[in-house]
Amino acid sequence: MTDSDAIEYIGRDDNGQGGSGSGLALPYQVLPKRLYIMPLSGRPFLPAQVQPVVLNQDPWDETLQRLDNTSHMTVGLCFVENEADESGSDEDLPAPEQLATMGCAVRVHHVHREDGKIQFIAQGIRRFRIDHWLRREPPYLAEVSYPEEPAEDHEQVKAYTLAIISSIKELLRTNPLYGEEVKHYLSRFGPDDSSPLADFGAAITSARGSELQDILNTVPLLNRLEKVLLLLRKEHEVAQMQAEITEEVNERVQKHQREFFLREQLKIIQRELGIAKDDKTADVDMFRERMAEKSLPENVQERFEDEIEKFQVLEQGSPEYGTTRNYLDWLSQMPWGQHSQDKLDLKEARRVLNRDHDGLDDIKDRILEFLAEGTFKGEISGSILLLVGPPGVGKTSIGKSVASALGREFYRFSLGGMRDEAEIKGHRRTYIGAMPGKFVQALKEVGTNNPVIMLDEIDKIGNSFMGDPASALLESLDPEQNGEFLDHYLDLRIDLSKVLFICTANQLDTIPQALLDRMDTIRLSGYITDEKVDIAKHHLLPKLLKRAGLKKKQLDITDGAIRQVVEGYAREAGVRNLEKQLHKIVRKGIVRMVESEEAERSPIRVGVKDLPDYLGQPWFRKEKALRGVGVVTGLAWTAMGGATMGVEASRIHSQDRGFTLTGQLGDVMKESASIAHSFVSSHLKQYKGDPEFFDRSYIHLHVPEGATPKDGPSAGVTMATALLSLARNEAPHRTLAMTGELTLTGQVLAVGGIREKVIAARRQKINTLILPEANRGDYEELPDYLKEGMEVHFAKEYTDVYRVCFEDSPRRRAH
């Protein structure tokens, strides 16, 4: 016996809600007790629905074939949460446990098979409950029952029914698409059929599948009507919001369309009357007006005419239209033949430099020499200045002062980290987003051909696969070549020979030699205490008070306090940290003013004793220069300026010969230490020491501040003196500092950074120095205020150092 042969039936009563099997029933009013089951994802099917259902032909085709052998053509549709339940893959078929227990019995009409899919019209009949599974693989077969609706209060049901009808009418007004479904419903049921009306009301909403399944599970009519009414209210709110959004969007679109049409009509009317021109004609006229004001070289005039002719024949929708327009825009804004008049007045230049900077007299003199040369020949050109010095010494501000003294426009950009040579020479204009180089951008912005262009941080320029920007600078900074500088974007020769280039750097080591050779180097070594005090009084403090909106009488910092800030909190070569400390005082002073009720009557005065309350304890304390057996002070140069550096030598034991170094020394400094050890060991008898001292001594040489890397040859003399002091068991006769490179034969060679090292010694109150004889000229060139009070000894060989340290009287003066 087949499954279809074993099907039993349940009759329906006159209301279509089912009844017992007794009595006479028409064929379409009978429902089987055993149903074939098919899964349905997305949304469950409700009894009042009539709509198409699409399933994969495999494996559900067999279910429909068996259904053809029945007289009722009824199948059960059950909701399943799994999205892959309708797939033809056996692995993705839902298990019976995944199907909802409550489903909808539907009558199948018009089965159609095409392209592996099955489509049929499903007419919902009645909800059923699965009591027992008879077949757990496709085609699924289950024994089902049809729950009866309990009796309800007729008045309450009627009230809810009218409320649902009213909600459906409101939905029809906001969304007419619901009208077709209402027609299908009315063809089967009347408006007073409360149970199918509830199912229909839920079916037309956009509720989630789980919410609709809850409606299907709810058999009591009153509860179901209440839940459906809530879903319809939510749907009405969503539909109303959607209608408002659609109306707002339509209004905006209509407004824009109306404005567009009106503008187009206005353009046509103006063009017909000769009042206005189209965009392209207006652009052409604008470009010609710009170029008419300039003195164009012949090659630029020819290129401009060629590009204008091409621009006029291009369509506005063409990709080349925008490229050509941008090119003409840049070309027409370049200051062809436009120069600013230089102020060739040395007295005015000196006044500006003195106004903007305290100290730096030698630097000012060097700049005035440069300006005097230009004054003599009638123009400033042909030289590139390179200002080298520690951070915060005023390199950038000097460049601004030079521009102000000359009356030229000033443009600054930083080269730090630049890795693309196109930043200098521009991109080819065929690339998307192409731009000219920085020099073209500078000329366009300042509007003249002879500005002052400052290239900051030229020592920090990068290098990558995109090119070498430092090499790209060679042409632009060479006075013999930059008269015909070629920018890749404009593809025209540009005269940069009238531009005054001022470059800044912290050190010279990272600048390529070919580039360094094209620049005139001016060193800014840093400031001594007196200069810093003047800078703080005349520049930093007035600027900070103005920025804070204070008057000088409201916050007074004494000269002694400023000097203490310089010596105790800001000893670096520049003045940036000094400005930060003064700013801190100003901030704390303002806090005290705001908190004090008598701020207007009692101005705040900051003295030396008040500084710990404002800045805390001093970072730098007054320290005596290191003295003792095996202890010598050296002078070093760093990118931050000059510094004093102690060298200590100690005998660890006398069991065997040995030599160890500490202090994070570089390779060159380690070699200097080895040279010093070898030299002193081989000349101990000459310098009145025990010749066998190092043969039976394990020596430890240390350079303090071990966390700071140190390198360079200039500490050779200092290390040799420390070792000799240890071997003689005698400290140097005087407090002094020294620098110089030592050879194995005892020669003292020249070193760099003499100015910085002298400033470092003055900062530490060390007045006696030993310098290489080869650096005598460097010392003599220093300003008098740096040499004042200094006792300097020049050493040609180490014997000269020995005499100063161990033989000469401290009263002996420098020669």
For 374, how many CA atoms within 13 A lie in the half-sphere containing its CB?
23
DSSP state of 797: B
Pairing of strands 641-653, 698-702: antiparallel
**Cα–Cα distance for residue pair 453/176, rounded to 1 Å:** 70
| Cβ density class 625-644: b for 16+ within 10 Å, e for less | bbeebbbbbbbbbbebbbbb
Pairing of strands 140-145, 117-135: antiparallel
**Cα–Cα distance for residue pair 632/405, rounded to 1 Å:** 47
Encoding tokens for residue 233? 């209210």
SS (H, E, C) 37-101: EEEECCCCCCCCCEEEEEEEHHHHHHHHHHHHCCCCCEEEEEEECCCCCCCCCHHHCCCHHHECC
Pairing of strands 140-145, 34-40: antiparallel
Given its phi and psi angles, is residue 14 left (phi above 0), alpha (psi -120 to 50 degrees) or beta?
alpha
Active centre residues (catalytic): 714, 757
* Angle in degrees, 0-180, between the axes of helices 438-446 and 319-333, rounded to the nearest 10: 60
Residues 6+ apart with CB under 8 A from 461: 415, 416, 417, 418, 469, 470, 473
Strand partners, 113: 118
Encoding tokens for residue 52? 């198409």
Contact call for residues 449 and 443 (beta carbons, < 8 A): yes
**Cα–Cα distance for residue pair 289/333, rounded to 1 Å:** 11
List, edge to edge, every strand of the sheet that includes 410-414. 410-414, 452-456, 500-505, 384-388, 520-523
